[in-house]
């Protein structure tokens, strides 16, 4: 298994994912409409539980501060759910599933880094402009002091 960079999988994540996969497998064996509806509800709830069980930097998606989640992962929320659904529906092995999720988390991480770099660069540029604006004033003040000496 490839070493994960961002996702810290839990034992519960694996169990929930396996259960979700088994719901997709079992679905084919039910004919009654009520049973199919019940399975749909179960699949949706398990998908949400898988999502909530993701842990990044020792923080669960479920308990993550909403501002932090929105800043870092909200943009990818639909993608996470699509990956969970498609992986479980098609019986993707758990080890491969967490690698796939880790790759999407990497995208979110790189996006966040890009915006941090942008903010740092904006701060640097503003500081340089402020310094440039102050330098001519300092030069004029030095000239005035030199003239007063004569």
pTM for this structure?
0.80
pLDDT tens digits, 11-59: 999 999 999 999 999 998 999 999 999 999 999 999 999 999 999 999 9
Beta strands in the chain (DSSP E): 55-56, 59-60
Q: Across-strand partners of 59? A: 56
Contact 16, 49 (CB under 8 A): yes
Question: What DSSP line would sit under 46-62, residue for residue?
Answer: HHHHHHHT-EETTEETT
Contact 76, 56 (CB under 8 A): no
Q: Could you give the CA distance from residue 104 to residue 86 in angstroms, rounded to a whole number?
A: 14
Contact 56, 98 (CB under 8 A): no
For the chain, the structural domain boundaries read 11-108
Q: Could you give the CA distance from residue 14 to residue 35 in angstroms, rounded to a whole number?
A: 25
Query: How far from chain centre, in Å, is Cα 50?
Result: 15
pLDDT tens digits, 58-107: 999 999 999 999 999 999 999 999 999 999 999 999 999 999 999 999 99
Q: Could you give the CA distance from residue 121 to residue 126 in angstroms, rounded to a whole number?
A: 9
Q: Which two tokens stand for residue 65?
A: 């501060």
Q: Could you give the CA distance from residue 118 to residue 122 in angstroms, rounded to a whole number?
A: 6
């Amino acid at each position: 298994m490839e070493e994960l960079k961002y996702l810290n999988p839990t034992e519960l994540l694996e169990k929930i994912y396996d259960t979700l996969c088994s719901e997709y497998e079992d679905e084919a064996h039910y004919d009654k409409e009520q049973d199919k509806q019940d399975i749909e509800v179960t699949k949706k709830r398990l998908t949400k539980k898988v999502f909530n069980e993701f842990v990044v930097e020792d923080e669960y998606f479920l308990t993550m501060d909403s501002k932090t989640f929105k800043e870092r992962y909200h943009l990818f929320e639909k993608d996470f759910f699509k990956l969970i659904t498609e992986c479980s529906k098609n019986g993707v092995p758990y080890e491969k599933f967490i690698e796939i999720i880790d790759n999407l988390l990497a995208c979110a991480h790189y996006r966040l880094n890009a915006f941090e770099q942008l903010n740092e660069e904006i701060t640097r540029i503003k500081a340089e402009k402020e310094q440039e604006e102050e330098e001519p004033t300092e030069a004029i003040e030095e000239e005035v002091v030199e003239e007063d000496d004569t």
